[in-house]
Chains A and B, each alone.
Chain A
Amino acid sequence: MIDITSLLKDRPLKGNYFAPDAYLQGDNEFGLLENRSGARLLAIPDTLLKGLFTALEEELGSGSGVALFSCGRSWGKSFYNRFADELAGYYEKPLAQMEMIQFLQCLKECWKTHGWGVLDIDLKYYQQGFIVAKVINSAYIANAPQGKRPMGFLEAGILSAFFSQLTGQDLNCVQTTCESLGAESNTFIIGMKDRVKSVSAWLEEGHDHATIMELLCRQQN
């Protein structure tokens, strides 16, 4: 028989840590923006983002993607650590004890509350060794040069570092569809470096995301 008193004993029933009204705190007078744990947040205007993309394109040309990916990767590492610490503190349990679905739900809410777009994680190919991430309304890609090439380098860097830290393996992330090229969403494939290395070549050959996933799974088998 279920006993509610013992069920609720020492069992915190917390909701969404990233609920925007609770997560975003600040003091207008001091121009201070911080999250509910007191970590400083930075509001980046679109103009600055546009300027960064333009400057990098001018200075580095196609190499700007590598620079952005590397920035994203370094950012993603500290992002994961802070994310994990804050979640463990709030939900009062170490990350290893958190269910994967709850963890991913937190990541999605975090992504949205920070204004980076709407993230979805597809684990359909998890058993084959791949995670597919989709971002709709990406704030970064909306401010990147349009109609040239997939521009989610920063996000690819963040996602690769985040999931590398999570899984303890060195993962890479490659973008297969991009809003800057007219796609409905930005799709990223995350997997072991040697397993996703062919993706760029397949993209250049003109394959779409679904075909690439099929090829990846076939290669895996």
Chain B
Amino acid sequence: MQKDFERLFHRAEDHYLIPVEMVALRKHIGLLGKRLETYRYLRDHENAIFQAVADRLEADFPDEPTQKLERCLCHWISTLRYSSMAMLLSNPEYLQYRILEWLTEMVEAHELRTIETRLSEILTEHLQKVLSTEGFTLLKPFLTQSETILLAKTAPQSPQFAMAGDKA
């Protein structure tokens, strides 16, 4: 449920919305339209956006194995999908619980922070270029949230994992 609307609907329990609330509602509807437009752009141009990011990433990390770069790209493709939906819902918790909280330790364990930090920079730069100013402003808080949570923690030791079954 869209958080902005939720508050208004709850407030309207026993009365018609007052003029100020109607203005707010209209504003949220307008914003929702812009959110939807941005969401649709990101959905329709996902491949092109990430192809451009992938090309730059490969140029920046020529010695890293392709598989490692692909893993990072998958993380951020996923993160942008969830960020886009969080933007549409105007709900940072959605992003937090559905992906970030779950992905953080995987980024740490595979020691991908350096690559993913650069990837997020390239992605942000690229999105700023291809999205409208308004669209980018709507998406930016969710990109920042992703960067802060996925990339800010200090790296712990990364144990070598063998699939359990061989030794316990």
Contacts and interface: CB of A to CB of B under 8 A. Distances in A.
Interface of A: 1-5, 7-8, 11, 13-16, 19-22, 96, 99-102, 105-106, 109, 123-124, 126-127, 129, 131, 163, 166-169, 171, 190-192
A4 B51 contact: yes
B77 A13 contact: yes
Interface string B71-83: 0011001100110
B70 A100 contact: no
Contacts of A19: 97-98, 102
A105 B98 contact: no
A4 B54 contact: yes
Contacts of A4: 46-47, 50-51, 54, 73, 77
A213 to B, nearest CB: 15
A109 B102 CA distance: 7
Contacts of B106: 99, 101-102, 105
Contacts of A3: 51
B47 A5 contact: yes
B53 to A, nearest CB: 9
Given A2-B69, A8-B47, A167-B165, 15 more contacts: A15-B78, A16-B99, A16-B101, A96-B163, A99-B161, A101-B109, A109-B101, A109-B102, A126-B159, A129-B167, A166-B164, A168-B165, A169-B168, A171-B168, A192-B168
Closest 7 CB pairs of A and B: A16-B102, A100-B161, A15-B99, A167-B168, A13-B78, A19-B97, A2-B54
Contact of A8 (B58, B77, B163, B164): B77
A100 B166 CA distance: 13
Interface residues of B, number: 38
B136 to A, nearest CB: 21
Contacts of B66: 2
Contacts of B163: 96, 100
B62 to A, nearest CB: 12
B50 A129 contact: no
Contacts of B51: 3-5
B164 A100 contact: yes
A170 to B, nearest CB: 10
B78 to A, nearest CB: 4
B70 to A, nearest CB: 6
B162 interface: yes
A105 B99 CA distance: 11
Interface in B93-130: 93-94, 97-99, 101-103, 105-106, 109-110
